[in-house]
Structure 1
Amino acid sequence: MRGERATLGKSLLDVQRELHIRATYIAAIESGDLSAFEAASFVAGYVRSYARYLGMDPDWSYAKFCAETGFAISSDLQRSTTSSPRIGAQPSTGDFSQGLLARTKMAEEPDPFWRRLDPVAMGSTAVMILLIAGLGFGGWTVLREVQRVNLAPADQPPSVLSDLDPITSGAAPRMAAIEEPSLRVGEARNTSNTNAQGVVRNYRPEALETPVVVSRDGPIAAINPRESEPSLDNSGISSAIEMALAEASTSAVSGESVRVTHDGPPEVEILAVRPSWIRVRAADGTVLFEKVLDAGERFRVPPSESPATLRAGNSGSVYMLVDGQPFGPTAPGAQVVDQIALSPEAVSERFTLADLSDDQALREFVNVAEAGTDALTQTD
């Protein structure tokens, strides 16, 4: 066979490419090496195919190969190849099952589907599905929370705090509730009836039923036309006109404006003659002011229905001014005082007028304040 292949000028690779048989099997057939074959059932087919390719008799070549290599198949297989089948004879099922197929090694049956499943791959797939489902559910939950609108019911329905119509009520109310956002610092103290936060009731002066008007001239009924006669002197008439115009301009500038409200309560101020820390709280506990006042610095207490309270350190340097009159100090020495009512009546009752001779710094600040007030009055 090797000689025939050489005569045809074919290499092992050419035979492999044309017969689709491995070159190692071709070389094993030519050398008679049976150990190169994986299964003995393929040897006969390979030998006959290779002999047919070289133009040799397949049966003679196979018999020669078996004689040289000692290769032999089962007797049943030899009997089936040598004996010709009878015409019209059908092989029985038992003979067929116990014949060639029973003694020839066949391909193994494929494993069932469940045996080919990998537990690791199934676990990874399950984890991936759970992760995708968790991410989807989390995103859907976040989207619902973002789009949700919560409406909280009010603790107390809105109501009219005061009636400001002077026609129906006769006069405007003395006090009105005004809510200042700048003073809404923290939650107010809880009461049994209300739950307001940071509400400061500022003072409003009561309106007068009849405006107070300062008349510039006397009543018309007091004019007696018989007491004065028309003068024929034109110079006197012109001088009288000039005097009337001068009086009118003077009275318009210096005259008092029409007042329609009563005077408000006296103003209360806090004066520090030396650096002092103070804290002013409203009646509901809201912090209105907290700072370290420098020497000569003042803080005007906003008027309210309920007086504010003062807590101060370095009490010997803190005074109260009621309409410019100094009262105090809050306490002698450098102490911490608390719960000092800052209404004009409470300050006047609790403290006495400050003695300017006892505190040089207080005297200087009061003199400066009075001088500034006098200068402002002269300028006006």
Structure 2
Amino acid sequence: MIGRKTPRTEDDTPNLKGFDDYDLSLGDVMRGERATLNKSLLDVQRELRIKAPYIVAIENADPAVFETPGFIAGYVRSYSRYLGLDPDWAFQKFCEESGFAGVHGMQPEANTARSDAARPAAKRGWRRNRIEEDPVLASATALMPQRTALFDGFNAGALGSLIVLAALLGGLGYGGYAILQEVQRVTLTPVDAPPDAVVDVDPLAEAALARPGYETAGVRAPSTSALSRLYRPEALEVPVMTPRDGPIATIDPNSIGVWRPSVTTPPTPTQLAEAGPDDTPAVQVVAPTPPAVAIVATNPAWVRVRAADGSILLERILETGESFVLPNSEAPPTLRAGNSGAVYFMVDGQTFGPAGAPGAVASNVILSRETLSTTFAAADLDADPDLREVIATAEARLTADPADLPPAE
């Protein structure tokens, strides 16, 4: 075909890039190493004591986030050492990507504390300026002591603290004084009570009025004791009591209490003649109880008794001579038994069975009195002495103590 073997030019060959052809920044390397260690920014902040925004700034090569440029080198080296990278290579890479040239002690931004602490000479007193300008007075070996101003060490912030402290103490003092006045206050409340007797200042004043030679009309002012008696009830010499019982001497201990003799009056001949047997039949208020149906095992056999509603009344292995009495219910339960040749039924004192052939499984056996008496034949106890002994033992258990029967599981 035409053009089948046309040679390709070099421009048609695609230029595939390798792994090293892509730009790999310091942040990509650090984020990859941090992801390899399965560490988050909060984990790094908790372990290195470096704030998470600073960690992000190092990965993004952004020195503007740092408040103090002097700590950038230490943060970068500590973080790179934590990730297992070369600290010098990481710091050099950070400087190349961010344009950070490092900070040394001669740069003004590295000495911020010293520049902030310096005060201009214009704010100082003329005496201090004079001492600093004199090389002899300013030297540490000067003989004369340096004089300081009165308010040289005064701080305006301390004045505010003193004012707040004084206000707090004043408030506490006023509160204590107010509480003390409230506690010591006495309030008089009028009550509905008669006035008390006032003691006479001069008890002889009444006697002085009765002078010899003078006659009175027999009218005297009421005394204080008389006023008191008006409001005070008169006390009785003997309390008024209404007796509820008779005198103790009239009580006969033989007529009351546990010592009272029982008196039986013999019946008269007329009463005996009129008495006769009570032919009134007893009133029946409940239906007669149906006869109990019991399952007896002559040999170990697995049985499961299921109620009409599907609940399981019994499901276990009955040992030799063990029996189970069916509870009374409206619908008869059903039986499923293994080794049915060893399972018998007791109804009205009679034994029916077995439920099936020896070693066979009997299913859906209706455990009702009518079904068991019609479906199964009566067991011949005389022909089998062992069966007679097992049935006798089961009957003795059921008759002696029904509470000892095995519970339904």
TM norm structure 2: 0.31
Which of the pair has the greater relative contact order for Cα pairs under 8 Å at 6+ separation? 1
**TM-score, normalised via structure 1 length:** 0.33
